[in-house]
Structure 1
């Protein structure tokens, strides 16, 4: 891409007001094709002759801006007229908003100093073959836009009363006051890359299920679902009247509006009306919410009606590929919550949560969920872009940050978080079979192993350092967010696991991995010497799942005993929970795994469902049995990590299992594991090679299995393997009863 455009900015600083850049141009010849190439330092919305350009909201997306800034290319041929007007509003977005709100970030502090910059280039090819460019330069102008304020955490203010009519050039364009000069500046050019990730788009629209008044007299609309997006308002009003909305995920136990868990994020928007019928939705920011409080409304808040509000769901434009259904309504709701949790947190970056003053691409959350994510949706393009940012942000010594983009670059790496550098590329390869993608990320993987090897206090283990441990483990000592599993144990276990993945990736790529094989052997030996005994559920899980124990079955037996002794409850956190059901079912405890999955009392996956959850919670008891909240400062109700349980549902309960030698489901193993507490269950995966279906149901004293495979498969029923070619098959087996 050859750029003739210049970066432009307002000649005078507009403060919190978003500038509106404008250009008029005239076409004298018939146009064959026209494209707009554009990006900004912030989020932008481009309008050509009164029509929005493209469907990408929050463009140009969120990347590691110091190293990578995406630009977009739009076909605008059908939007052109003889007289044309293009306008672009630029907000702060992720680029220049104050974030993260809960912690200082020197990276973000530098970005905030950047101007509201715009780079745009219209490439117009005429019917006679000639090409003309209209580019950002000093001939453009700007005005203050009606967007008076827009930031990621705090929301948006829009003054529609500024809309004072249409100008003569270009239908639907608006005049917002006297045009002011722009100036060119040395904006980023060497960091520009074409659009790599999925576009963020509007996906669904929800109407309120009700509007009610709380015991405090607040007027609240309930959309019935915790989402990520914004509210579109539709009303008739007089100029100067206002609509002010606040956002929340939950109500408190008295049924009142609750926002403490948003911490410092204001999550509000204010709309100042013009005369007449009008509609508006935020242009340059987003919110995480289920409820809105109507703080101001023309005629008083009691005048607000459900038809005045529509919740617009946004997320990266991924294609749904995984489906589940069963005879248990609570389990169906759990799976629905997993899907909504992914949609709400896959807004260009796999964030931890979409609502509070955080919304960061936490690597630990990403690595525990990526297998599930790639079953639920075709997420290859989404993760390819994010992993490219991880590679860009990886330190010269191999360090990988807690979050990507790495706004917390001063902090040392943590095990199980930084290990996303090895786990995510390998999981992406197994899901889609893209060897070129794995090759592009192999250096990232190797450098991470080098980081661990040079930042440990004990050779062949990872000891010392600062780690998150088994984050939010239920066996945490009083006053700690970390579980009781030894941090050095976790770090050393992941050191071994990540090294094993480098070996596997290297063999796929034909690389010499002899040194890593030797390193892995020494890590395992050192681990077994240092940790001959396991003290927590998570320690048993990691020792068995990563095949580090001298006797993995004994570790699994110990885990099963621990679970039973505490009342058939898990005590794990972010590190142990994703693997707990797998370890149980791998070593003959499938019934116990189902007992954990189907448990309704706290702590369990279904407990939040019984409390009305519509997404996955950060804490098992975000809302406790007595109706109080777990905490005010760290209590997200849309936090997808524990939704990783869905991969066990797909691959064990439903039985659709990957074969590593045949990545991308080129060949599969189908080994469903039924349970008498369910009457029937089915899963579907739409893979690169077609749709795989696996379902089972009870028929008297017999299990009836139906399997459809588009590829050759190994089917395992009652421990008996048989090879099948593509097609649909029925199998039967006796129900075993104790």
Structure 2
């Protein structure tokens, strides 16, 4: 697609309708339409919806954010800007005679004017570029493109915002607007508009779709207000049938939780009173089934006020298949698997793994790198992570090499290590799961640039600072009751060292020379960590808080007492004291050290800091914090779910292997478990493992694999 001849409505309308009519003497042999409608678009031909894709094109780094209303200063450009277009085959929709292509635009991420967190990012009003190529059997080609021949008018969506919802005035609805019989009164030629200063590329990541419908349960009716429960926390929308007189209003409001008395909505976990998710419909006197067109909501409960009938609730997320299964004799682990899968799918939108589907909706690099291996192993996410890694590369600071906390970069707080390390974690996990080096090859220069950035933020071998005005976080969401968290420099330096070590492995894998500075930087940083935080008499780092000893052991630091101190601390504590980074580091290390029983105890304990607490409080998705004080649809703590497969089922790749071409089955022997079974689908086929404990307590293992071609 050429980046020219863009059109728009005006600088007021947030959801313009466009129509282009053309006459066919005969139907062509092929008809290819490429569309980029920013922020989102819906496509129709001759009055019929084309495709079932929602929220297209996927969000990217559209253009510079310098000058946008960010919550903290941004001083540099990004490394790349791109916009995606989507290609359609229109041949099934064409006919002889007059044909009409109709496109409705919405703000999407391109024109966001309301937001509580992370600032506002306004790149322009909705705009459109399309190219339509028809080819006939004799080789003749007809080409139509966006221009003044395209007509526009405002649509029925009068206000809309990703975070706050939509307002539809059904009195403005022209049902035949993209047919040949439409009344064209009020339609005007489209206006030219400046093309985005970005690369146009075709969208290849999975689009969002309606994945399934749910029949909500009516909890109560109080006057004109009805309260419903979907039975699970979802991302999507509610469809209603407006039944009132012309001008009557219907209001739908959404929340994850009920208030304390159980008769109303509690908005706190999804953005609070300042960012309520709600849709408003103004009736036209006829029964009309409606739902929001250009936004999704994160919710379990909703209320409907006004003359309307509820039709259904819909789960609307990226079209990602579940490629795994798991169950065992422990109810907490069963809940954890199901809750993670549900949470992760709720947070796949627009080709990014978001942090939550409501308050922020951003591709946080910290959350995303933590869950990437688990998501790649348990879900069909290959194309999604290919797209998101390009977003990460595009988001890298053009001057400094800094990897920001979100990709595409749309604000957001974090730290240089646990967030920035996504630049090497994503392609490495992609290689390990899929056996594909393409992302490593594409990202290797960016990885080296990020390592230079981290070096520039070091003092005496430790990473001590990030961008001016930023947060420079280390650990995140540790239990609120803990007296202190790990020092930020400890966590950031850990991820810096791991990045240096991975750079050496990547260089070897790609047959490139290892940069001469890698080993010296590793030595300096490790020496600094031991010098600053290690107590040789006890073997502890940072007195053992927050899994510090597990972090250190992963780097080969400490002495014989370090493992002893690690195990003794958590045997005495009996629970987790860790945040999103320390939790997987701790549990993986305990399994590696042969302490499977202790790791299981921490995973399944039923105290205040536990997954069981979420389960016992009726959660169907994972919470952002152990206390449940923020979002209730955050996948980041779900990074540990991979351990159900690598440790509980024991499906382990050969050391140094990739793509599961070679693996072994070695379940951890955990006395508290009597059986487990599950499967994962790899590029080589599906691996199914089941085991149970016999009368003597011995594990009896059954393995069934279905390899390709067998």
TM-score (norm 1): 0.87
* Partner residue, 2:112: 97
Contact 2:2–2:200 (8 Å) recurs in 1 = no
Distance 2:331 2:311 in 1: 29
Instruction: Tell me if the contact between 2:622 and 2:635 (Cα under 8 Å) persists in the aligned partners.
Output: yes
205-214 vs 587-596, greater mean Cα deviation:
205-214
SS in 2 for 1:664: coil
- Secondary structure of the residue aligned to 1:84 is strand
1:507 is matched with which residue?
A: 508
Aligned alpha-carbon RMSD (Å): 2.4
Structure 1 spans left out of the alignment, 5+ residues: 299-303, 623-629, 713-725, 728-738
Paired position in structure 1 for 2:473: 468
Q: d(CA) in 1 for partners of 2:241 and 2:5?
A: 38
Alpha-carbon offset, residue 421 of structure 1: 1.2
1:543 to 511, 528, 552: 552
Deviation at 1:185, TM superposition (A): 2.2
How far 1:407 sits from its partner (Å)? Answer: 2.2
Query: CA 1:542 to 1:174, structure 2 compared with 1: closer, same or farther past 3 Å?
Result: farther
- Determine the structure 2 residue equivalent to 1:615: 621
* Cα distance, 1:200–1:377 mapped onto 2, change above 3 Å: same
1:14 to 12, 15, 18: 12
Q: Determine whether 1:649 maps to 2:652.
A: no
Equivalent position of 1:344 in the other structure: 346
Tell me how far 1:413 sits from its aligned partner. Answer: 5.1
Is this contact kept in 1: 2:235–2:315, CA < 8 A?
yes
2:427 to 425, 431, 434: 425
Question: Aligned pair in 2 of structure 1 residues 412, 612: CA closer, same or farther (>3 Å)?
Answer: closer
Matches within 5 A, 1:50-89: 50-66=47-63, 67-82=81-96, 83-89=98-104
Q: Is the 8 A contact 1:38 1:119 kept in 2?
A: yes
Q: Which residue of 2 aligns with 1:147?
A: 157
Structure 1 contact 163–175 (Cα < 8 Å) conserved: no
> Which residue among 591, 602, 612 is the counterpart of 1:606?
612
Partner of 1:715: none
- Alignment match, 1:489: 490
Displacement of 1:254 in angstroms is 1.5
Give deviations 1:528-576, integer Å, cap 9, x for gaps. Answer: 33332312132112112x233233x63332222222323x011001220
Counterparts of residues 370-381 of structure 1 (less than 5 Å) = 370-381=372-383
Contact 1:41 1:116 in 2 (8 A): yes
How far apart, in 1, do the equivalents of 2:669 and 2:11 lie?
64
Show the counterpart of 2:73: none
Question: Any idea what the Cα deviations from partners look like across 1:583-622, whole Å, max 9, x if unmatched?
Answer: 1111121111111112122111121011000100011121
Aligned residues: 674
Q: Please, which of 580, 587, 596 is the counterpart of residue 586 of structure 2?
A: 580
**How does 1:328-477 map onto structure 2 within 5 Å?**
328-348=330-350, 349-356=352-359, 358-395=360-397, 396-408=399-411, 414-458=416-460, 460-465=461-466, 466-474=471-479
Shift of 1:412: 8.7
State the distance in 1 between where 2:396 and 2:101 align.
39
CA shift in 2, pair 1:179/1:654, >3 Å: same
Counterpart position of 1:569: 575
| 1:206 to partner: Cα distance | 0.9
Query: How far apart, in 1, do the equivalents of 2:400 and 2:177 lie?
Result: 57
Cα deviation code 1:365-386 (max 9, x no counterpart): 1111111111121212111111
Question: Which of 230, 233, 244 is equivalent to 1:226?
Answer: 233
Would you say the 8 A contact 2:19–2:178 is kept in 1? no
Q: What whole-Å deviation, never above 9, does each CA across 1:50-72 have from its counterpart, x for those lacking one?
A: 11122221111111111010000
Whole-angstrom CA distance in 1 between matches of 2:118 and 2:489: 26
Q: How far does residue 100 in structure 1 lie from its aligned partner after superposition?
A: 4.9
- 1:31 to 1:372, Cα distance in 2 relative to 1, 3 A: same
Classify 1:672/1:711 alpha carbon distance in 2 versus 1 (closer, same or farther; 3 Å).
Answer: farther
* Matches of 1:164 and 1:505, distance apart in 2: 57
Q: Distance in 1 between matches of 2:557 and 2:197?
A: 52
CA-to-aligned-CA distance 1:120-154 (integer Å, 9 cap, x gap): 11111123321111211011111110111111111
1:198-241 CA distance string (max 9 Å, x none): 21222111111333247x99521100111111112236544333
Q: What is the deviation of 1:667? A: 0.9
Query: Who is 2:72 aligned against?
Result: none
Aligned partner of 1:666 among 658, 661, 668: 661
Q: Does 1:159 align with 2:169?
A: yes
Cα distance, 1:176–1:430 mapped onto 2, change above 3 Å: farther
- The residue that corresponds to 1:280 in the other structure is 290
Deviations 1:153-209 (A, max 9, x none): 110111222235536944xx8658510222112212642111132212221111113
Distance change (3 Å), C-alpha of 1:447 and 1:168:
closer
Aligned residue number for residue 182 of structure 1? 190
Match in the other structure for 2:21: 24
Assess, with a 3 A threshold, how the Cα gap between structure 1 residues 100 and 273 changes in structure 2: closer, same or farther.
closer
Aligned position for 2:142:
132
Structure 1 CA distance for aligned equivalents of residues 340 and 162 of structure 2: 24
Matching residue of 1:681: 676
CA distance 1:502–1:45, shift in 2 (3 Å):
same
**Contact 1:325–1:681, Cα closer than 8 Å, also in 2:** yes
Specify which of 679, 701, 708 is matched with residue 705 of structure 1. 701
Contact 1:666 1:711 in 2 (8 A): no
Name the SS of the counterpart of 1:246 in structure 2: strand
2:563 aligned with 1:556: yes
User: Structure 1 99/644 Cα, relative in aligned 2: closer, same or farther at 3 Å?
Assistant: farther
- Whether contact under 8 Å (1:345, 1:351) holds in the other structure is yes
Determine if contact 1:696/1:706 at 8 Å carries over to the other structure.
Answer: yes
- Stretches of structure 2 that go unaligned for 5 or more consecutive residues are 64-80, 536-540
| CA spacing shift, 1:711–1:51, aligned 2, 3 Å | closer
Q: Which moved more, 1:80-89 or 1:243-252?
A: 80-89
Q: TM-score, normalised by structure 2?
A: 0.90
Taking structure 1 as reference, are residues 152 and 364 closer, same or farther at Cα in structure 2, changes over 3 Å only?
same
**Larger CA deviation: 95-104 vs 687-696:** 95-104
| CA contact 2:256–2:301 (8 Å) conserved in 1 | yes
Quote the residue 2:77 is aligned against. Answer: none
1:40 and 1:119 in contact (8 A); partners too: yes
SS of 1:615's equivalent in the other structure is coil
CA distance, structure 2, for counterparts of residue 616 and residue 154 of structure 1: 23
- Alpha-carbon distance between aligned partners in 1 of 2:322 and 2:450, rounded to the nearest angstrom: 32
**Equivalent of 1:592 in 598, 621, 630:** 598
Change (3 A) 1:270 1:538: same
